[in-house]
Each structure stands twice: as structure tokens, then as C-alpha cells.
Amino acid sequence: MRKLLLALTLAAGACQQAAPDQQATPDPAAKAPATASASASAAPDTQRAHDWLVRSLEENFSVEGRESENSDLTSTASIYTKRYREYKTDAIGLEYDDDLTEEQFTKKWQGTYDTKRAGAGGFLISAQDWNTIKVTRCDLKSTAADGSAIFSVVLTEQSDKAQYPHDIKVIPVGQSFQIDDVRD
């Protein structure tokens, strides 16, 4: 059942896009759009995390197939941690009466994620079809001693002005970053 759910999730994203097999490499020289800002007093790693997040989110919706690739549990080139992809796949599975009950889901993930904020829709937006998604806000909300940062982000679908606000947790991974939680 889990494989069927994953296939359905990926197929929905594939309706819009077809996937190249590569991950964006961080480019410290790249600048974020003027509408997305980090705190003026942000540490260099926090600024790099901010820039990576803005660039990765916009690329996620502008490069064909990237949304499907990023949510694929087998992908090694995802903007999400493997743990978050597993968690989100389990959360989506609850909607389809998958292998886990709500109680099992909560027990499995309660020490790692706030299971009440799992959300059952897609990884970042609930829409299956979109034209152009832009980051219209990306503000540093908090940092932690482990190097993680939480950003308050608004994704906006440009043609119909639909907005998708999230708090997104970014963690350092090697010389780059990955998303380890998306809270609605």
C-alpha cells in the first residue's frame, strides 16, 4: 500500500513535470530575491541557509520533475532529509488508510516531529497544478545550537496569488542544507 501511495504522490507531481536526476549545489555567491530577506544580524551560516532555502524552494517548482524527485523516498538528491520524507509519506498515507493507524503514526514519530502538525497534503503546497511558485517571504524565526534554523516562509503561486505559509526547519548537511520539517 505504501508503494501505491508513493506512486500516486509522485504521479501527481509528474503530471506537471518530468525529472532530471541532479541536485542543485549551493552557490554562496547567488543572491536571494529582494522579496525574501534574512535578518540583518544573521550569522554567515544562517545567511547561507536562507539563500539555499529560497533558491531550492523556487527551483523545486520551476525545474521539471524536481518536486517528484525531492519527495521520492529513494532519491539521494532531495532538498528534504530522508527522515522527513519518510515521516511525510507516512502522514500522507493516513489519508489513504495505509499500513499505519493514527495511533501507530503518533507513536512512531512523536519524539521527532509534532504529529498534530503533520498535514496530509503535499510536501510544500496542496495544489497539484501550478504555474510559477515564488518565495515572497523568508524570514529567520529561530536558530538552535545544532546549526538548524527555522524560517517563516510564504510560497506564492503567481498567477492566482494563492499563498502557502510555512515554518520550515533547515539543518546543515555536509557543505549544504536540507529541509527537516515543514509546519503549516
Percent of the chain at pLDDT > 90 equals: 43
Question: How large is the average pLDDT for residues 77-84?
Answer: 94
More confident of the two residues 17 and 75: 75
Confidence of residue 127 (pLDDT cuts 50, 70, 90): low
Buried b (16+ CB within 10 A) or exposed e, 23-32: bbebeeeeeb
Q: Is the pLDDT of residue 41 over 70?
A: no
Phi, psi of 182 (to 5 degrees): -130, 115
Domains of the chain, residue spans: 2-17+30-183
User: How far apart are alpha carbons 73 and 82 in whole angstroms?
Assistant: 7
Question: How large is the average pLDDT for residues 103-107?
Answer: 93
Amino acid at 142: S
137-173 confidence digits (pLDDT tens): 999 999 999 999 999 999 998 888 889 999 999 999 9
